[in-house]
Amino acid sequence: MKENPKHIHISEYNYPLPDERIAKFPLPVRDQSKLLVYRHGEVTEDIFTSLPEYLPKGSLMIFNNTKVIQARLHFRKETGALIEVFCLEPIQPNDYVLNFQQTEHAAWLCMIGNLKKWKDGTLKREMTVKGFPITLTATRGECKGTSHWVDFAWNNPEVTFADILEVFGELPIPPYLNRNTEESDKETYQTVYSKIKGSVAAPTAGLHFTPRVLEALQEKGIDLEELTLHVGAGTFKPVKSEEIEGHEMHTEYISVNRNTIKKLIDHDGCAIAVGTTSVRTLESLYHIGVTLADHPDATEQELHVRQWQPYEKYDQIPPVVALQKILGYLDRNGLEAFHTSTQIIIAPGYQYKIVKAMVTNFHQPQSTLLLLVSAFVKGNWRTIYDYALSHDFRFLSYGDSSLLIP
């Protein structure tokens, strides 16, 4: 392992991003976005529908199938103050699927907008869900960092928490778009393959894919597999500390089916990742396998990937062996899917284990996502970003994309 990345200065990962280069809305046809192709240090450009032409036949491509939830809830107090409650992650029950199925009560960790106006008391909102008039209440509990425990209750056993969010929630588009959510975002801010509800931000590299691109990839003989990482609001959290050691990565929840692990093993532990969320999940799997190699009886909590774990000294094992350790864990526990969480930070000095190519958008200056890209292209990120800035590429969530092959 190279030098410790904790002392990287985030100021070295800055670049000028004028507001007009941030795409406020997507293109009318998703797959007509520009594609920057970075191969072994060379940069060219094409259109996204050409993506299959750049990928080797027989490779494995992995997508994050998470679905963005309408996580923002608005309550108006009797005083007229508007309070926004932004659901970040489920607490009681702490499983996403179970929480969405809850009737009458659910608890979430939430960010609260206009917090100073909500000193105490319960917020109430009358609404009609599935034809039932209900009253939804929100009660604030203990503070956890910048978030709060919030208990939601409603007076109808026919209505689930998922139903409430669907009707009453608002889709949380990224703050840097500087605009309100519009009806069209409900469709355009989801990937065409999104299935598993739980994210508060879209895995945006996936927004360029259309059924015809997916079909073309399969015709090329490329294996397509999915995993789930629920993207947290922390993905937008700017690095405020001078050195990245001072930045705490948010925890994100991952789920990978046994079949996907087997596919990875069949492909020698090599994959093309769609989006930085798939990258973080795939690379986390390697470090989980390393933990299992040393501690076969580790619990789900012990398999959580800590932020700096990849940079600690330990015996390296081949990626296929690490993946086989996870398969063994699933077998011993009679599980069809592997569930855990990760706080991994991928920064220059990190050695990639599984991801051999990635499709990704253009990220914010001084962000952890830019560090991840820099680590992948061996520090050559400026070449890519200078090209994108001087060739009219659109940036951030609704912007254009790149294919990176180091």
Nearest by Cα to 323 from 57, 96, 62: 62
| pLDDT at res. 146 | 84
| pLDDT at res. 286 | 98
pLDDT tens series, the chain, 406 aa = 446 799 999 999 999 999 999 999 999 999 999 999 999 999 999 999 999 999 999 999 999 999 999 999 999 998 899 999 999 999 999 899 999 999 999 999 999 999 999 988 899 999 999 999 999 999 999 998 889 999 999 999 999 999 999 999 999 999 889 999 999 999 999 999 999 999 999 999 999 999 999 999 999 999 999 999 999 877 767 899 999 999 999 889 999 999 999 999 999 999 999 999 999 999 999 999 999 999 999 998 899 999 999 999 777 899 999 999 999 999 999 999 999 999 999 999 999 999 999 999 999 999 999 999 999 999 999 999 999 999 999 999 999 999 999 9
The set of residues, in sequence order, having a beta carbon less than 8 Å from that of 94 and lying 6+ positions away, is none
Cis previous bond, 93, omega within 30: yes
Tokens of 122: 């319960």
CA distance 270 to 357: 9
- Packing angle, helices 368-376 and 276-294, rounded to 10: 70
Nearest by Cα to 349 from 405, 310, 291: 310
| pLDDT at res. 401 | 98
- Packing angle, helices 258-266 and 276-294, rounded to 10: 90
> In CATH, what is the architecture of 5-67+187-404?
3-Layer(aba) Sandwich (3.40)
Tokens of 110: 């939430």
| pLDDT at res. 358 | 98
Nearest by Cα to 87 from 67, 104, 70, 63: 70
104-127 burial code (b ≥16 CB/10 A, e <16): eebbbbbbbeeeeebeeeebebee
DSSP-derived secondary structure letter, 166: H
Nearest by Cα to 9 from 349, 241, 346: 241
DSSP 3-state of 153: strand
Stretch (H or E) spanning 258: helix 258-266
| pLDDT at res. 250 | 86
Conformation bin of residue 250: beta by default, left when phi > 0, alpha when psi is -120 to 50: beta
Domain ranges across the chain: 5-67+187-404, 71-170
Contact 136, 127 (CB under 8 A): yes
CA distance 271 to 12: 29
| pLDDT at res. 1 | 41
Contact 150, 141 (CB under 8 A): yes
